[in-house]
Structure 1
């Protein structure tokens, strides 16, 4: 691996994509490689990247119904456009990135980056191997461009559908989380820092770095049960933290650097996004209950995790309490934790990047272009099928 040069493409859409990119870069450097991270949104001209980030943050926090419409039309619809103007612009700017071709491999941790690299690779404008590291537990069509050489998937169930949709290899990899989560400690200090009393059964409620979703409702359900103490991770949403503090249903925390210690102190995690925080909890041995997921990819990710048996999807407050109560059974708890921990049995992503298998022979460019639309259509069909199946399974998650 020594001397290998890797470019990692991310995007500051929340903290998940950047968190995976930063940890992957750390591991690669530790193994003797050179690794650089570029935010593809910063490549866009005229402040378009910042506008896109702010627009997404506004819609996901203030108008989730609108985000759901956007997701349905552009991310999973069968007749969605094959390439958006934003993809074309991103690819053009990325293709002019100084020194792009000096890298041995380009790794995308965000779907817009994956679209851009696939487009460049398909047109012969990117000579470097292009790998997509999927950071969602469920995949939508924007992750899938047949121009990329391969996909790495923390959810092993995605490898077959991705290969079928793109015609390119897809292999499972372990979730990319910081080492602190695999051996969490400091639970006693974390309890003291938030004023927890002896005997309090702490349940972390994650709202992501932007503090999104109906987490106040989850906190109220837990607090009123008298059996659990909700601890809401509000991220950088100061307004949400103030509202929760005024409600008085339990500690409301801003951005924290001691999340591994908080997980060591907690009984369970309640999550609504099926993102990096869930994977961190899996690594820490903390059971995860999904409740009232955010729109779009969050809902599909929650369903995918429930299908895999690594979480339980609680649709109602009573389901949430029942799922938490069941975790008091040591056998039940151990089985759920073991299923989640099994995800880490896949090879680490950095080893796959450092010693990649030879990809299958690339079909002629004309043939590849002809099949691209069919591949995306298959991916959309798979996403809708997964959503339907997920809805059926979710209703049977709890006895």
Structure 2
């Protein structure tokens, strides 16, 4: 039986307990998990977040995180090969993520029971493998609804034991339905509300940019939470030499930030808490991963140009965004400059791109979860 409605619950929906399975791989998955939890609590639900890497025994999760970060930073060819073997969609027998995921099975099942979860929501592919495995064995009594936060679907997201998939785009939902029998639908991405409308801090960023480079369009260069990218100083020098203010987002990579401070005309930033204000003051985003930074840019009306993407899922995601018409994909320096010249200029190209990007935000994941739970739990 479902519990009584919480005084803060959304009219027509009872209070629920939601367990979100994230992963501390960079910051993107946790960013989504935190926003989902915030929305749930604002509507009177109870929300818990767990790091699936922390559920793995014997320090395996820490090892996975360090190995992934090291390979992307220092051995991108190795990660590209791993992606081809483990992640890329396609026919033929390939290794499964279930053997690794099931090592966390006892801990997740115990946590779900202890919190009294009405639904488990993975926002990371290893979590989706884990919940699908447990559901197929009957060890999770509550439904598992996967929020697939990538533009390009890879096979480790997919397990037929899950009850439903919520996806960013029609194309992603179609690929899920093509590969497994689990229902899949489109809700669009999740971002914090401050990305959807400019706040007062945007003007503060704009004044800072104007003091540094009067009249030059500021262009953000994203390197993710780990500060990972290919030839970022060279890209910053290119933009500074062609009439832009390159603002490099170095994440928590202090070494990268130090190297960028030597680039004349560039601004190197460490970890930025006010990404919404920063984006509303910028002219474009040069992106290499098609992750949450790119999603936030779309919400903020900031045109995105993919350039020198990270191997594997980064490259596939950047290509998919370009195929959807919500980003450019620059093959070389000439392409990059041409895209920025077009998209940082106020006019029909920029307006069309901004509108197309914002059109992705067509629904609300939490609202759909409430509707599904009304049917399956209520």
Report the secondary structure of 2:302's partner residue: coil
* Equivalent in 23, 26, 29 of residue 38 of structure 2: 26
| Residue pair 1:2, 1:31 contacting (<8 A) in 2 also | no
> Contact 2:166/2:365 (CA < 8 Å) preserved in 1?
yes
Which residue pairs with 1:335 in the alignment? 352
Structure 1 stretches lacking a partner, 5+ long: 361-399
- Is the Cα–Cα contact under 8 Å of residues 286 and 304 in structure 2 kept in the other structure? yes
2:184 is equivalent to residue 176 of structure 1: no
Q: Is the 8 A contact 2:306 2:328 kept in 1?
A: yes
1:275 equivalent to 2:294? Answer: no
Spell out the pairing of 1:285-304 with structure 2 (5 A cutoff): 285-304=301-320
- How many Å separate the matches in 1 of 2:235 and 2:187? 32
Number of paired residues? 358
Residue aligning to 1:221: 238
1:354 aligns with 2:366: no
C-alpha displacement of 1:163: 1.2
Provide the rounded CA distance (Å) in 2 between the counterparts of 1:66 and 1:220.
28
Distance in 2, matches of 1:28 and 1:54, equals 31
Find the counterpart in structure 1 of residue 10 from structure 2: none
1:69 matched to 2:81? The reply is yes
> What SS is found at the alignment partner of 1:246?
coil
The reply to whether residue 309 of structure 1 matches residue 332 of structure 2 is no
Task: Pick closer, same or farther for the CA change 1:188–1:164 going to 2, 3 Å.
Answer: same
Pick from 187, 191, 202 the counterpart of residue 187 of structure 1.
202
The residue number in structure 1 matching 2:14 is 2
TM-score where L is the length of structure 2:
0.91
CA contact (8 A) 1:101 1:127 kept: no
Specify which of 123, 131, 153 is matched with residue 167 of structure 2.
Answer: 153
- Find the counterpart in structure 2 of residue 55 from structure 1: 67
Q: What is the aligned partner in structure 1 of residue 118 from structure 2?
A: 104
1:154 Cα deviation after fit: 1.2
Uncovered stretches (5+) of structure 2, i.e. residues with no partner:
1-12
Distance in 1 between the 2:290 and 2:280 partners? 20
Q: Map 1:74-89 to 2 at 5 A.
A: 74-76=86-88, 78-89=92-103
Identify the structure with bigger relative contact order (alpha carbons < 8 Å, sequence gap 6+): 1
1:293 Cα offset (Å): 0.5
Distance change in 2, residues 1:219/1:153 (3 Å): same
| Distance of 1:107 and 1:39 partners within structure 2 | 12
CA distance in structure 1 between the partners assigned to 2:186 and 2:208 by the alignment: 38
Q: TM-score, normalised by structure 1?
A: 0.86
Conservation of the 8 A alpha-carbon contact between 2:287 and 2:305: yes
Query: 212-221 or 189-198, which moves further after superposition?
Result: 189-198
